[in-house]
């Protein structure tokens, strides 16, 4: 069979095509990336906020919740994704929403905290960065014995 196109996969999910998985050959099944499909299926570009909410909630409830348990069972993952289809069974435009890049002082604060606390979890570092101002961290760097020159270079 031919290579699967993303629009065809998303169309099958939108229509709740749980049985389509059995029609795919092995090469096509291997080409399905459930991580990417998760990102696409959960976001719908429509003016109806209820439909947007449906896809987010359904993806979280049916697919994300069980990802770790079933990640070695692709047919079951496919069926869980198809459960996320809207009751109208219409096709939607699923847009890719990229990851947000941290900018400005937030990134500087996080980089500083990662250097000072190399054994802390990323979630803890992000929390500390959000709780402290840049000035607080500069003062902490002084307490750690950093020179003014090093502080200025690091936080510029």
Q: Which residues contact 75 (CB under 8 A, 6 or more apart)?
A: 21, 22
pLDDT given at position 91: 92
Per-position b or e across 90-119, b if 16+ CB within 10 A of its CB: eebebeeeeeeeeeeeeebbbebbeeeeee
- Top pLDDT among 21 and 155 is at 21
Verdict on whether the full-model pTM lies above 0.85: no
pLDDT given at position 57: 92
% of the chain surpassing 70 pLDDT: 95
Phi-psi region of 145 (alpha: psi -120 to 50; beta: other; left: phi over 0): left
pLDDT digits (tens, 9 = 90+) for 80-120: 999 999 888 889 998 887 766 555 667 888 889 999 888 88
pLDDT digits (tens, 9 = 90+) for 115-142: 988 888 888 888 888 888 888 899 989 9
- pLDDT over threshold 90, residue 19: yes
Per-position b or e across 64-80, b if 16+ CB within 10 A of its CB: eeeeeeeeeeeeebbbb
Where exactly are the structural domains of the chain?
Answer: 6-82, 105-155
pLDDT given at position 104: 63
């Amino acid at each position: 069979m031919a290579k699967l196109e993303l629009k065809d996969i998303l169309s099958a999910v939108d229509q709740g095509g749980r049985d389509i998985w059995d029609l795919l050959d092995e090469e096509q099944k291997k080409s399905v990336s459930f991580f990417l499909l998760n990102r696409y299926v959960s976001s719908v570009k429509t003016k109806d906020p209820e439909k947007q909410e449906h896809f987010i909630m359904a993806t979280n409830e049916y697919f994300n919740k069980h990802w770790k348990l079933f990640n070695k069972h692709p047919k079951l993952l496919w069926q869980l994704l198809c459960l996320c289809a809207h009751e109208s069974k219409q096709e939607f435009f699923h847009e890719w929403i990229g990851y947000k890049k941290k900018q400005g002082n937030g990134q500087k604060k996080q980089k500083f905290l990662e250097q000072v606390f190399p054994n802390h979890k990323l979630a803890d570092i992000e929390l500390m960065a959000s709780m402290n101002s840049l000035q607080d961290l500069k003062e902490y760097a002084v307490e750690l014995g950093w020179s003014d020159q090093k502080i200025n270079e690091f936080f510029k």
